[in-house]
Structure 1
């Protein structure tokens, strides 16, 4: 199949948009409630882990498009810039793991729910959450954008990641406000969403 290379970024963005819609629907409170009505306590225990597995498996074909579609290289950095960029990526990866651990890694991937050991959490505003409300999204973006190589396809993919992070954070915060109420509203007023030390204007 011959595809115009100029169309590759658009196809990647469209595929990611479809992934985002499906991912948001499976994360919705409405679907969770419907699943709970059908499966009862089993849904509470296993929904999260199946949600994570589905998100990973459905993400694979979207990511594959970056390499499958015709591409054009933009740049490939050499030392010392490539070393600096890879160092930033390594630090970002470490901070992603720290953020996930502070969130509760076992609960994040659904194992705690499956074991039936989850209680209602208090709002976590410690660790990296003191500086930004969504550190995992922030450091995921720095990990991708500081790649020492860039092409039109990877740029489109990274742009999709950034847009998804922003939209996903907004969507997620609606649920967090519903769950934590005024405590989360106060947290929003005091702490930037994605960029640390970016004070909200009064």
Structure 2
């Protein structure tokens, strides 16, 4: 049984990893067959409402399943050692559905013609994703994506929460992964209407997610996190 739990954790981890890597290409309209601005013969008249609904679906899944009360509610069905793995699997399914059902939208907001400026934006686009991945390892990548919990269960060790530390980016901002998302969503040489809707919607979700995560961390870590909030910024050093 422990081996099956470990296998489940590995499958969930790689499921999310594959979907997230595809998501990078989806956002940038590169390297994948279907992306935000894929060409279609006929644009859906309901594209805006469908896309807003898809982002709401993603936001509800990603936020509700992360709340403590929801974890307590499903604890009898989803034990702690697979809770995070299940969350990652559900997130992969929700994100995959968002990409699969996304409706391209007609129109271009801006298109950078200067090759140097376009390359600069592509550089920032890559930097955003790099910041996200690096930040996951500054805390505990394998705990975050649900591998550490089933592993500890597999080797019959008691789970202990990740120790709160201030490493590298976390010395100045509390949410470097969210900063990476903002950079990636907005650093595009071509901003289509569909991209704009996506970037606005997902940026609103990220801001809302930061708000709820901060409340949860303050409850969990107490004065340690409150003091950390006082000496650091949320996303942009000295600004926000």
Aligned to 2:109: 74
Aligned to 1:97: 133
Q: Which aligned pairs between 1:29-178 and structure 2 lie closer than 5 A? A: 29-36=68-75, 38-39=76-77, 43-66=79-102, 68-78=103-113, 79-116=115-152, 118-178=159-219
Distance in structure 2 (CA, Å) of the matches to 1:84 and 1:174: 36
Please report the RMSD computed on the Cα atoms of aligned residues, expressed in angstroms.
Answer: 2.0
Give how far 1:187 is off: 0.9
- Which deviations, in whole Å up to 9, do the C-alpha atoms of 1:98-118 show, x marking residues without a partner? 101102111110100111264
SS at match of 1:74: strand
Moved more, 8-17 or 133-142: 8-17
Distance in structure 2 (CA, Å) of the matches to 1:130 and 1:13: 35
Which structure is higher in helix share?
A: 1
> How high is the TM-score relative to the length of structure 2?
0.74
Give how far 1:23 is off: 2.0
Aligned to 1:180: 221
Give how far 1:2 is off: 6.8
Give how far 1:76 is off: 2.5
21, 38, 60: which is aligned to 1:21? Answer: 60
The unaligned stretches of length 5 or more in structure 1 are none
